[in-house]
Each structure stands twice: as C-alpha cells, then as structure tokens.
C-alpha cells in the first residue's frame, strides 16, 4: 500500500525491464510491482474488524459505513492488483518460441503497465480512496472513546487525510513525484504510529 511502502516501479518503465527483473529475482520483482501493498491490505482486514467491534457502540451507523467502505476498498484493490499477472506474462515471455508470441506478450504486459499507471481512476487506487475515507471516519469516532484517546484519533485523521490528499494529487498532478514522495513518507510514518497506538489500545481492551 502506498501508505506504508513507496513502490519503485517507475524506475523500470519498460515491460521488458519488469520481465527481466521477475526472472532474475521473483521476490524483488513482485515487491517492485506492489506485492507489499497486497500484504498491507490483507493485514488491514483483522485490524479494521477489531476497531469496528471496539467502537460500534459509540456510533454504529458511522462504523457500519466505515467497515463497509474499508472492506470494499480492500476487495477492489486485491481484485485489480496485477503483480502475479505480470509474473505470469514474464514466464510466458521466457518460454515463447516465436517473435510473434513475444510481441503479443509484450503488448499484454504494456497494457498491464498502462492500467497500473492510471491508478487514480482505476480499481487499483480506488482501494486507497475508500480506505482513506474509512480511516477518517473510524478515527473521528475514536474521539468519543476513552479506550483509544484523542491523540490516537488525531494521528489517524491526519494520516488518512494525507492519504486522501495523495489520491487527489494523482488526479490533478500525476507526474509530480516530489509531492508523491512527501505524501508517501508523511502518511506512511503517521500510519505506522497510528497502527502502533491502535494496537496497544486493542491489547489493553482484550485484557
């Protein structure tokens, strides 16, 4: 997830570059093509569930909306992630025996790259949008909870607000990598702090 990891895919702009990387080192290649984001989104599932059950009595309608948006965002992201599709194309390219086959596979890989590059409008980053809104809603409800505290709530609101601003940035200024780096670092650091604070509060609640 962009909130936690800054992908380096823009350093390998060509399809052949990705194919070569995936054949040289599959793990590094998949990480470069957003595998870590897949893991992060999966880990969000139990965390959001725990927050939902901890806060639903404070404002059940808001929490139902938030958990629905969070799970919808996760589902959209996972269903549109292209990491393993690119790996499959890479394997097909290596085993291709004719130039025509290689050309078709390269074209398919280019289509995946284009789809990934249009994340602000496609399903890939709709997950970011929905989870950012869900996080803001949940953090706002936290303001009314003595179990989490205002500091945790405000850190969450700020982290997810910056994440939401990053989504807007991708629509208005898609080529501004400096702003991307600033937003990614800020939201990533704040989200890590928020996750630690939320985790500590949930552990105390379980005891």
CA 158 centroid distance within chain: 17
Residues 176-207 pLDDT 10s: 677 777 877 888 889 899 999 999 999 988 87
Report pLDDT digits (tens) over 107-162. 888 887 776 654 545 556 788 889 999 999 999 999 999 889 899 999 999 999 99
The pLDDT score that the predictor gives to residue 124 is 60
Domain ranges of the chain: 9-206
- Contact criterion met (CB below 8 Å) for 185 and 166: no
Q: Give the model's confidence band at 13: pLDDT under 50 very low, under 70 low, under 90 confident, else very high.
A: low
What values do phi and psi take at 140, rounded to 5? -65, -40
For position 78, what pLDDT does the model report? 82
Q: Whole-model pTM?
A: 0.77
Give backbone dihedrals phi and psi of 81, rounded to 5 degrees, phi first: -70, 140
- Between 123 and 39, the more confident residue is 39
Residue 45 has pLDDT above 70, yes or no: yes
pLDDT of residue 135: 94
Label each residue of the chain as H, E or C: CCCCCCCCHHHCCCHHHHHHHHHHCHHHHHHHCCHHHHHHHHHHHHHHHHHHHHHCCCCHHHHHHHHHHHHHHHHHHHHHCCHHHHHHHHHHHHHCCCHHHHHHHHHHHHHHHHHHHCCCCCHHHHHHHHHHHHHHHHHHHHCCCCCCCHHHHHHHHHHHHHHHHHHHHHHHCCCCHHHHHHHHHHHHHHHHHHHHHHHHHHHHHHC
Rg value, the chain, Cα = 19
Tokens 């052949």 locate to 16
pLDDT at 205: 87
């Amino acid at each position: 997830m962009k909130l936690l990891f800054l992908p380096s895919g823009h350093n390998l702009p060509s399809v052949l570059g990705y194919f070569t990387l995936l054949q040289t080192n599959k793990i590094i290649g998949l990480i470069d093509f957003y595998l870590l984001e897949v893991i992060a989104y999966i880990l969000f599932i139990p965390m959001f569930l725990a927050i939902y059950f901890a806060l639903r009595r404070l404002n059940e309608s808001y929490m139902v909306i938030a958990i629905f948006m969070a799970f919808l965002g996760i589902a959209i992201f996972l269903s549109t992630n292209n990491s393993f599709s690119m790996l499959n194309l890479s394997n097909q390219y290596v085993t291709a025996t004719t130039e025509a086959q290689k050309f078709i596979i390269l074209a398919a890989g280019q289509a995946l790259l284009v789809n990934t590059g249009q994340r602000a409008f496609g399903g890939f980053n709709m997950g970011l949008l929905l989870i950012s809104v869900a996080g803001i809603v949940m953090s706002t409800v936290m303001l009314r909870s003595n179990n989490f505290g205002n500091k945790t709530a405000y850190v969450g609101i700020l982290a997810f607000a910056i994440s939401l601003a990053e989504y807007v940035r991708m629509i208005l200024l898609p080529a501004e990598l400096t702003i991307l780096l600033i937003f990614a670092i800020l939201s990533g650091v704040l989200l890590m702090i928020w996750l630690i604070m939320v985790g500590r509060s949930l552990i105390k609640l379980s005891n």
